[in-house]
Chain A
Amino acid sequence: MTGSNGGGLDEAIGRRRFLGYVLAAPTLVAAAELVPATSAAVAPLPSPELTQLLDLNDLMTAAALPTSGLISVEVRPDGTVSFALPRAEVGQGITTSTAMLIAEEMAVPLDRVRVTLADARPELVFNQLTGGSNTTFATYTPIRVAAAVARLRLLEAAAAELGSAVGDLTLKAGVVTDRSGRGVGIGALAEKAASARTRQVSVELTPRRDFTVIGRPHSRVDALDAVTGRKKFAMDLDVPGAKPTMVCRPPTINGKVGSVANLAEVRAMPGVTDVVVISTGVAVRAETFGQCVDAVRALKVTWRAGTAAGKSDDSVLRQLEAAELPLGLRPPTPIVEGKFTFYFRSNSALEPNCAIADVRADRAEIWSALKSPIVAQQAIAAKLNLPAGRVTVHVVEGGGSFGRKLFFDAALEAAEVSQKVGKPVKLMWHRADDARQGRTHPMATSRVRVAYLGDTVLSYKQRHTSVSTDLGHGLGEIITAMAARLPVGDIGFSQTFFHLSQAMSYDFGASSQLLSETDKSFNTGSMRNVYSPDVTCARELIVDQLAARMGKDPYRFRHAFLRDDRSRAVLAKAAEAGGWGRAMPAGTAQGIAFHAEYKGVSAALVEIDCRPETVNRPVREGVSGPRVTKVVFVVDVGLAVNPRGLEAQMMGGVMDGIALALTSSLHLRDGHFLEASWDNYFYTRQWNTPPEFRVIVMPSTSETPGGAGELGVAASMAAVACAYGRAVGTMPTSFPINHGTLSFTPKPTIPPVPPSPTDGLDHAR
């Protein structure tokens, strides 16, 4: 689907020439029109190994093609370059990497590039969805083309200004200089380089060998704001009249309000301005969030049953078993088989779901960290009964996402409350709400069967069965729209997503990996790395079993069966740098695992300490458990735009992998989750952090960047699980490994949020 465009482009204007625009504007505005072919065209025949033809990134990049031309950079008279990125920055570092692309191509200092987040732009259709680790991959060329057009126009304007030929000019550090040494800054050229009419321009991009910015480590462009408290998140914005608002939520998942006994009484509480029943609970607006908490706790609400009434971990596990696809007849050869259970987990960004809404009779304005702002805009408009064009949606930088901000639950609620009370609101979820009513990574099982004979693996079958993953935030729409063009038939977008994201990296003969989904009663979402951590963890544990059965070392077995040099290189590097095979005391062990996705390959070597003195070390209100003592994570994403940022993403992915394997899960009991605090939901804490940690970014193996934001999770989780199994002598089959032990006292569900403590001064230290 991209091949014909790319081929045509190449033939028409030669390699490394791209078409862009200078837009009619008072100052220089340059835009990119085309994305070149970056991936293989769809092969004519279906193949069982679909990811070799096309993966999720290709699909999303292809979906973005028709509208990428609307990406533009603006040069301002103060010498800065502005770019409104149609994506959400939630910590993954895309404002920094985007600024680097522009700085590279325009030869301006990085600190003069201002990357902001674009408001919802419905004309972008598919090109404003932040997910699938696709941002850098999809925007790498168009952003550079726009910047190259700007650069060319600046040189042309300087040529007129200085009376020199363009070929005699150099642009460096934001200044154009002629051969005599006379210079003019790009700020002074911004208006002279502007165009009165929109016209097409052909440019060449800076060749890879001349890169001075891309591929070198840079610190984040927002680091100073972050460490000084100046960085503004949605709840930090000062929107006139937008007062704190929280929602009293049901005691079970998606329960509904029956009646409220004391509305008038709560309306009269200190600071409270409004109390109103909405579709998800009872909303309270007050002068401070603290008074919202008090009012939420004071409400006496009769609730109707929720969507998961009566369900628990055990009943969902039985449902999953009933929905499992068969592995088929047992082959006559030796086999290795396993079944694994993965409990519900929360993506729980530290910034809870939140949004500001100012809804008037004829229009609405929304501020929120949104990864699918166009779908949000459309849904909010429908809810408010306004035309979509009357709803302005501002995308604010987010305090983490991990998939959560693909959904706009808080923005939808804020709009509803604002409309009902006729005032602007600043709506925030309590942490307890986030754990109990928020999005979850669906509970799943994975069954694996491998048949082998002698030194040959004959077949690999994996049947993944999951509570349904809600992809109804736009990513689903992209996949639905594109799925008809894929050789996979009519299997719906969850299935398509699964097939596109799950590569079979080992040469294991006939392989089939199938997804079966059941039960739509939960609020689920595509948590960081979606299906891959569980699927990879199950696979890698079975690979260890298989290696043992064949009498081979786990590392050397993987190395022998990986399909390509690039995969083998990361695995070998991890083994070498991590000292694979070194002697370890009893109760401690190494584990190694591999994962490929997002055009990248990765390997993790982990050491774990499962000795009693470590497992039982005391931590107040926390889970200690086995400690991962060392991680070496090796990654090859093709071209690493910002190695420092890439390393940060891998670090975060590893911490997620440790949590998924060892400590973090939600416990479902009688239609609700028990967790309501960070001291209930045990994400990795400092006491779980590996003392020895190293990320190795492999030398670039490609002209184009792969995805980074999610890549670190799967191999890490799998390596921790493998190490744990080897340390304790038994393969773990249920994750996280501590799920069977409830390590906290559950908080009440009515009222839905805990009281605000009053003993803060006692804990000053």
Chain B
Amino acid sequence: MPEFTFRVNGEQVTVDVAGDVRLLWVLRDILGITGPKYGCGINVCKACTSHLNGKAVNPCAIPVEDLQPADEVTTIEGLPATVGRDLHPMQQAWLDHDVAQCGYCQPGQIMAAVALVRRAAAEGRTITDADLDGLRNICRCGTYVRIRAAIKAGAAAMGGGPA
């Protein structure tokens, strides 16, 4: 079988798997990285949202053969290390607002939120309610209001949102 190599949470990994297997299953079923969750498998629910080179992607829709050796995949497990702390400010905001209910969607929500704040910052602006309305991540427990509050607080803590 072919081998594919790329970086996950700061480490180079090499997997021996068919090239069309989607990254979500390489992470979960082969590498045992279970933070990204399955909720639909067709890039709709966003529960698997992770970062590729700092941008939000959905691993359920990425064949592993599309990755290059220098590509850096960051899952929720690797998010704190991107800021050199035990918790990313967005995770801390999530704790401060006691956002999670069942918790299943929360890794994807947090990864989507961090990417949103970075995107707004790159555009030289802070996040808006329209940005929050545009988040597609499903939370079936319906904790959307706390998600919005936490993202605003997390954005402020990241230096990219309203104070």
Inter-chain contact B45/A678, CB cutoff 8 Å: yes
Q: Does chain B have a CB within 8 A of A177? A: no
Inter-chain contact A229/B76, CB cutoff 8 Å: yes
CA distance A649 to B148 in the complex (A): 17
Inter-chain contact B55/A350, CB cutoff 8 Å: no
B116 to chain A, nearest CB (A): 9
Taking a contact as CB atoms closer than 8 A, the residue among B21, B34, B98 that contacts A271 in the complex is: B21
CA distance A431 to B134 in the complex (A): 22
Q: Which residues of B lie under 8 Å from residue A398 when comparing CB positions?
A: 102
CA distance A643 to B137 in the complex (A): 26
Inter-chain contact B102/A399, CB cutoff 8 Å: yes
Taking a contact as CB atoms closer than 8 A, the residue among B32, B39, B115 that contacts A238 in the complex is: B32
CA distance A758 to B137 in the complex (A): 19
Q: Does chain A have a CB within 8 A of B143? A: yes
Instruction: Give the residue among B29, B41, B75, B105 with the most A Cβ atoms within 10 A.
Output: B41
Question: Interface readout for B81-107 with A: 1 if CB under 8 Å, 0 if not?
Answer: 000000100010011001111111111
Residues facing A in B115-141 (CB within 8 A) are 115, 119, 129, 132-141
Q: Does chain A have a CB within 8 A of B43? A: yes
Residues facing A in B126-163 (CB within 8 A) are 129, 132-148
B-contacting 9-mer, from A282-290, A441-449, A500-508, A572-580: A282-290
- Chain B residue nearest to A236 (CB atoms) is B34
Taking a contact as CB atoms closer than 8 A, the residue among A226, A649, A655 that contacts B103 in the complex is: A226
Assuming the contacts A91-B102, A288-B26, A350-B105, asked whether A229 and B77 have C-beta atoms less than 8 A apart, the reply is yes
A678 to chain B, nearest CB (A): 5
Assuming the contacts A91-B103, A220-B100, A760-B57, asked whether A686 and B135 have C-beta atoms less than 8 A apart, the reply is yes
B13 to chain A, nearest CB (A): 15
Inter-chain contact A293/B140, CB cutoff 8 Å: no
Assuming the contacts A228-B77, A678-B45, A764-B52, asked whether A233 and B104 have C-beta atoms less than 8 A apart, the reply is yes
Residues facing B in A659-688 (CB within 8 A) are 677-679, 683-687
Q: Does chain B have a CB within 8 A of A219? A: yes
Q: Which residues of B lie under 8 Å from residue A402 when comparing CB positions?
A: 140
Assuming the contacts A689-B148, A763-B57, asked whether A226 and B106 have C-beta atoms less than 8 A apart, the reply is yes
- Chain B residue nearest to A243 (CB atoms) is B29
Q: Which residues of A lie under 8 Å from residue B104 when comparing CB positions?
A: 91, 233, 349-351, 399-400
Inter-chain contact B142/A763, CB cutoff 8 Å: no
Q: Does chain B have a CB within 8 A of A759? A: yes
Inter-chain contact B42/A757, CB cutoff 8 Å: yes
CA distance A475 to B47 in the complex (A): 31
CA distance A759 to B47 in the complex (A): 17
Inter-chain contact B142/A655, CB cutoff 8 Å: yes
Question: Interface readout for B39-72 with A: 1 if CB under 8 Å, 0 if not?
Answer: 1111111010000110111111111001000000
CA distance A559 to B22 in the complex (A): 57
Q: Does chain B have a CB within 8 A of A654? A: yes
Q: Does chain B have a CB within 8 A of A428? A: yes
Assuming the contacts A348-B140, A686-B133, asked whether A244 and B29 have C-beta atoms less than 8 A apart, the reply is yes
Inter-chain contact A655/B144, CB cutoff 8 Å: yes
Inter-chain contact B143/A651, CB cutoff 8 Å: yes
Question: Interface readout for A604-648 with B: 1 if CB under 8 Å, 0 if not?
Answer: 000000000000000001100000000000000000000010001
Taking a contact as CB atoms closer than 8 A, the residue among B60, B75, B103, B133 that contacts A756 in the complex is: B60
Inter-chain contact B141/A91, CB cutoff 8 Å: yes
Q: Name the interface size band of chain A.
A: 35 or more
**Chain A, interface SS category:** loop
Assuming the contacts A223-B95, A288-B29, asked whether A686 and B148 have C-beta atoms less than 8 A apart, the reply is yes
Residues facing B in A680-730 (CB within 8 A) are 683-687, 689-691, 693
Inter-chain contact B45/A765, CB cutoff 8 Å: no
Q: Does chain B have a CB within 8 A of A90? A: yes
Inter-chain contact A683/B140, CB cutoff 8 Å: yes
Q: Does chain B have a CB within 8 A of A362? A: no
Question: Interface readout for A210-226 with B: 1 if CB under 8 Å, 0 if not?
Answer: 00000000011011111
CA distance A644 to B135 in the complex (A): 25
Instruction: Give the residue among A290, A293, A621, A687 with the most B Cβ atoms within 10 A.
Output: A290
Instruction: Give the residue among A349, A683, A756, A758 with the most B Cβ atoms within 10 A.
Output: A756
Q: Which residues of A lie under 8 Å from residue B37 when comparing CB positions?
A: 233, 350-351, 399
Q: Does chain A have a CB within 8 A of B24? A: yes
CA distance A233 to B38 in the complex (A): 11
- Chain B residue nearest to A351 (CB atoms) is B104
CA distance A465 to B21 in the complex (A): 47
Inter-chain contact A226/B41, CB cutoff 8 Å: no
Taking a contact as CB atoms closer than 8 A, the residue among B60, B87, B115 that contacts A765 in the complex is: B115
B68 to chain A, nearest CB (A): 10
Assuming the contacts A350-B105, A760-B62, A761-B62, asked whether A400 and B141 have C-beta atoms less than 8 A apart, the reply is yes
Taking a contact as CB atoms closer than 8 A, the residue among B36, B107, B132, B142 that contacts A684 in the complex is: B142
Q: Does chain B have a CB within 8 A of A93? A: yes
Q: Does chain B have a CB within 8 A of A430? A: yes
- Chain A residue nearest to B107 (CB atoms) is A229
A715 to chain B, nearest CB (A): 15
Q: Does chain B have a CB within 8 A of A656? A: yes
A645 to chain B, nearest CB (A): 8
Inter-chain contact A229/B102, CB cutoff 8 Å: no
Inter-chain contact B95/A227, CB cutoff 8 Å: yes
Q: Does chain B have a CB within 8 A of A232? A: yes
Residues facing B in A719-765 (CB within 8 A) are 753-754, 756-761, 763-765
Residues facing A in B11-42 (CB within 8 A) are 17-18, 20-26, 28-30, 32, 34-42
Assuming the contacts A288-B30, A760-B59, A763-B58, asked whether A271 and B40 have C-beta atoms less than 8 A apart, the reply is no
Q: Does chain A have a CB within 8 A of B110? A: yes
Q: Does chain B have a CB within 8 A of A383? A: no
Q: Does chain B have a CB within 8 A of A352? A: yes
Q: Does chain B have a CB within 8 A of A235? A: yes
Q: Does chain B have a CB within 8 A of A92? A: yes
Inter-chain contact B30/A350, CB cutoff 8 Å: no
CA distance A519 to B131 in the complex (A): 45
CA distance A2 to B87 in the complex (A): 49
Inter-chain contact A400/B102, CB cutoff 8 Å: yes
Q: Does chain B have a CB within 8 A of A652? A: yes
Q: Does chain B have a CB within 8 A of A231? A: yes
Q: Does chain B have a CB within 8 A of A291? A: yes
CA distance A680 to B148 in the complex (A): 24
Q: Which residues of A lie under 8 Å from residue B132 when comparing CB positions?
A: 686
B73 to chain A, nearest CB (A): 11
Inter-chain contact B140/A428, CB cutoff 8 Å: no
Assuming the contacts A227-B94, A760-B58, asked whether A431 and B45 have C-beta atoms less than 8 A apart, the reply is yes
Inter-chain contact A351/B102, CB cutoff 8 Å: yes
Residues facing B in A337-357 (CB within 8 A) are 348-352
Q: Does chain B have a CB within 8 A of A509? A: no
Shortest beta-carbon contacts, A-B, top 7: A229-B35, A655-B142, A91-B102, A399-B104, A226-B103, A760-B61, A760-B62
CB-defined A-B contacts under 8 Å, sample of 22 = A90-B102, A91-B101, A223-B95, A226-B106, A227-B103, A228-B87, A229-B76, A229-B77, A229-B107, A238-B32, A350-B141, A351-B37, A351-B39, A399-B104, A399-B105, A402-B140, A431-B41, A648-B141, A655-B144, A678-B45, A760-B60, A761-B62
Given contacts A244-B25, A621-B44, 13 further A-B contacts (CB under 8 A): A93-B101, A222-B103, A223-B94, A230-B35, A289-B25, A289-B38, A350-B37, A648-B143, A677-B40, A686-B148, A693-B145, A760-B66, A765-B55
